[in-house]
Structure 1
């Protein structure tokens, strides 16, 4: 089984506080260096010189440079998505507000310069490694679509909408911000580079959610 096929790519999960701190120091240092210089321009020696320790720790915890990059992807994915796909569980929760708020949170995350830069780095690396591409898709886009599909299924079961294929609907829903994702990947100017959302984008999100919900009404 390759590093990319593991749910957790760490080869040897640290069980001590010191081990965990060493592991995180290597991961965060590599993350910073990859963003500053690019993946190919950074060596394991560079990472060790920046974080301290030895290359033996990288081999122990991550296997190699490739495994370290995969662990960074996992770490950043958890940070990126932890506040985006919140569960739709409360009986009195407003579905329209939930859908709008989810897109706003996604927007606020993706326009942050570091997140945008890492998305471009991922795109570059996945062009070279098909195993990494599959792993990133399974743990990233596919997972967040599945989370939204669960919310749509709950809304369907409550009679709030008619949604015969929640997965297809979730894919369509996240397509609302596809143009923004392309702007990020192509490094085109964005309306804002902080967490604010401009009124035009807010109007667009509201409009699209109305259309999305209109397509899920009972006939």
Structure 2
């Protein structure tokens, strides 16, 4: 029977990279940046710290890669603008907003926000990585959707990006702040679904073409 060490040496580089990211994500989100060591990460996946330096660089580079990796996992369910534009505008927005809300209430997203808030003041480049790989991707996707509906005559939107930011801000409200602060747990889908519908209806009151109001 082969030893665990011999099996580890046969791992493909991509597999090892993802295993390091998964272990780093679990430890960073649970224990924070300062209390997570590269030795602890390697203890989870096997091998040596040289693998981390080879794939990522140092500890901060690993943290940045982990932020991007988890953000991509959480946001992969966001619909493409072209896939929803043909639907009724309200249904289209509810579909997109539901994907955003599902991502916001994902425990990994909540933990990421907390980690970035804790580390972002000292390491603003990490906050920028998080914004670029997470919140800004959602805004960009929604802005594209709004632009398509505006061109189809279903909405009146002068600045799609700013309007997308305002709309997502309706979803990321004081209740979400309470979730981030640990005052309440993330909302269940059953709890946030009517909130999404209300946000969409309020949004449409201000962006619907005059003839539709």
Say whether the 8 Å CA contact 2:24–2:41 is kept in structure 1: yes
Give the C-alpha shift of residue 17 in structure 1.
6.3
Give the C-alpha shift of residue 127 in structure 1.
2.0
Give unmatched runs, 5+ long, in structure 1.
1-15
TM-score norm. by structure 2 comes to: 0.85
Give the C-alpha shift of residue 175 in structure 1.
1.0
* 1:22 has 2:16 as partner: yes
TM-score norm. by structure 1 comes to: 0.83
Name which of 103, 107, 110 aligns with 1:113.
Answer: 107
* 1:44 has 2:38 as partner: yes
Map Cα deviations across residues 162-215 of structure 1 (whole Å, 9 max, x no partner): 1111111101110111224312221121364xx5322xx433322221121111
Q: Distance in 1 between matches of 2:161 and 2:80?
A: 17
* 1:141 has 2:135 as partner: yes
Name which of 195, 203, 208 aligns with 1:217.
Answer: 208
Who is 1:207 aligned against? 198
Who is 1:196 aligned against? 189
Q: Distance in 2 between matches of 1:119 and 1:171?
A: 17
Query: Whose helix fraction is larger, Structure 1's or Structure 2's?
Result: 2
Say whether the 8 Å CA contact 1:152–1:166 is kept in structure 2: yes
Give unmatched runs, 5+ long, in structure 2.
1-9
Name which of 183, 204, 219 aligns with 2:178.
Answer: 183
Q: Distance in 1 between matches of 2:203 and 2:85?
A: 21
Who is 1:168 aligned against? 162
